[in-house]
């Protein structure tokens, strides 16, 4: 049999980690790593699938089986549970308090949130839809045990120091390994290894999603942004001197012409009777080329046989990207 001191040394706490998810992936990772490094067992809804029970009941069951509840609070309120109108994160927090489970929170300070906004964007970091509920929840959290942090290193330090304090302050059940119980010890090692692997995979998945989102935003039909730019550069148009307002005909590539006449394409060029001859020339000789790339589209004018060629959403997005990359200035 082990004495009390040995049991205390070998006791592994199960720590339930709660937070909003997509905005705090790195912060959760830091917390989980710190819990594992301290020799304890992290748990959280992203680490397992719910069974036949409702999601909330499954969450409560895991909190019941945990020794400590840890909250990471950023700038988002989180997914809303329809019946209560509260976020799952708040419901988890309130449930842990009601059960008398030791609770502590790390709260990202303003400087931390500001840095995250630079990489993730304001809407992905700061609550937009339920700001009143978020601030009410944050006020509740700040009235309890809390550590304000300004980077992931602070989170790891907070985890280590708080768990040590809780081990000394509370008579926590935990998991105690007895000498000779090699199977249990091996199981815990395998469990921790699986959790590390799962978190690593989650991080890789998130990076892939971000890369796919970036690629999707830069895709224009069957072309990437760079491919479309190069394709338009290869196409040459001969603009009559009269249309170009020059002494002689002008030859220019399709990209330059798209940029040059973009504002005209935004308002639309028509073949309506009485239309400026410059616009008529654009309508019949220039604009159709861009329709094949879905940058422009042809629409029928109401109560008329005339048509208008105008910019599509894709065409506007393409021009916006050109502008963002400083490619719309015509020298």
Domain residue ranges of the chain, discontinuous segments joined by +: 4-217, 223-324
* Choice among 56-60, 108-112, 120-124, 174-178 with the minimum mean pLDDT: 174-178
The predicted pLDDT at position 129 comes to 86
Q: Is the pLDDT of residue 326 over 80?
A: yes
pLDDT on residue 253: 94
Q: Is the pLDDT of residue 273 over 80?
A: no
Query: What was the pLDDT predicted at 142?
Result: 93
Average pLDDT, the chain: 82
Predicted confidence band of residue 183 (pLDDT cuts 50, 70, 90): low
Quote the pLDDT of residue 267: 84
Question: Which pLDDT tens digit goes with each residue over 11-29?
Answer: 788 899 999 988 898 899 8
For residue 34, is pLDDT > 50?
yes
Question: Higher model confidence: residue 168 or residue 217?
Answer: 168
CA distance 70 to 32: 10
Q: What pLDDT, on the 0 to 100 scale, is given for residue 49?
A: 42
5-19, 69-83, 84-98, 232-246: lowest mean pLDDT where? 5-19
pLDDT score of 328 more than 70: yes
How many residues belong to the chain?
331
Question: Where does 4-217 sit in CATH, by number?
Answer: 3.40.50.10140
Distance (Å) of CA 291 to CA 57, 177, 221, 231, 309: 54, 71, 12, 14, 9
Q: What is the CB-side half-sphere exposure of residue 19 using CA atoms within 13 A?
A: 28
Average the pLDDT over 241-262 and give the result: 89
Structure-token pair, residue 102: 């030791």
- Decide if 236 contacts 252 (C-beta within 8 A): yes
| Residue 132 host element (H or E) | helix 131-142
CA angle (176 as vertex; 174, 180 as ends), nearest 5: 165
Cα 93 to Cα 304: distance, rounded to the nearest angstrom: 64
| Percent of the chain surpassing pLDDT 90 | 32
pLDDT band at 90 (very low <50, low <70, confident <90, very high): very high
């Amino acid at each position: 049999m082990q004495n009390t001191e040995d049991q205390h040394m070998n006791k592994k706490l199960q720590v339930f980690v709660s937070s909003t998810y997509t905005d705090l992936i790195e912060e959760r990772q830091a917390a989980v790593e710190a819990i594992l490094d301290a020799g304890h067992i992290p748990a959280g809804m992203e680490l397992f699938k719910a069974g036949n029970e409702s999601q909330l009941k499954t969450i409560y069951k895991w909190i019941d089986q945990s020794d400590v509840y840890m909250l990471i609070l950023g700038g988002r309120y989180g997914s809303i549970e329809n019946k209560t109108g509260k976020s799952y994160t708040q419901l988890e927090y309130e449930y842990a308090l009601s059960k008398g489970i030791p609770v502590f929170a790390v709260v990202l300070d303003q400087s931390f949130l500001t840095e995250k906004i630079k990489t993730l964007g304001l809407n992905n970091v700061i609550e937009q839809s339920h700001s009143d509920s978020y601030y009410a929840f944050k006020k509740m959290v700040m009235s309890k045990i809390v550590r304000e942090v300004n980077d992931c290193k602070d989170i790891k330090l907070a985890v280590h120091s708080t768990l040590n304090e809780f081990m000394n302050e509370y008579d926590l059940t935990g998991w105690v390994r007895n000498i000779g119980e090699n199977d249990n010890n091996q199981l815990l090692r395998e469990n921790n290894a699986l959790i590390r692997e799962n978190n690593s995979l989650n991080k890789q998945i998130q990076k892939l999603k971000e890369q796919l989102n970036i690629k999707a935003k830069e895709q224009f039909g069957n072309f990437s942004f760079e491919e479309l730019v190069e394709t338009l550069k290869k196409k040459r148009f001969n603009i009559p001197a009269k249309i170009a307002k020059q002494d002689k005909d002008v030859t220019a590539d399709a990209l330059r012409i798209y940029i040059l006449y973009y504002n005209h394409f935004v308002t639309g060029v028509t073949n309506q009777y009485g239309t400026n001859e410059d616009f008529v020339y654009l309508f019949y000789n220039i604009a159709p080329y861009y329709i094949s790339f879905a940058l422009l589209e042809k629409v029928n004018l109401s109560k008329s046989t005339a048509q208008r060629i105008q910019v599509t959403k894709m065409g506007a997005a393409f021009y916006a990207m050109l502008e963002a990359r400083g490619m719309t200035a015509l020298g």
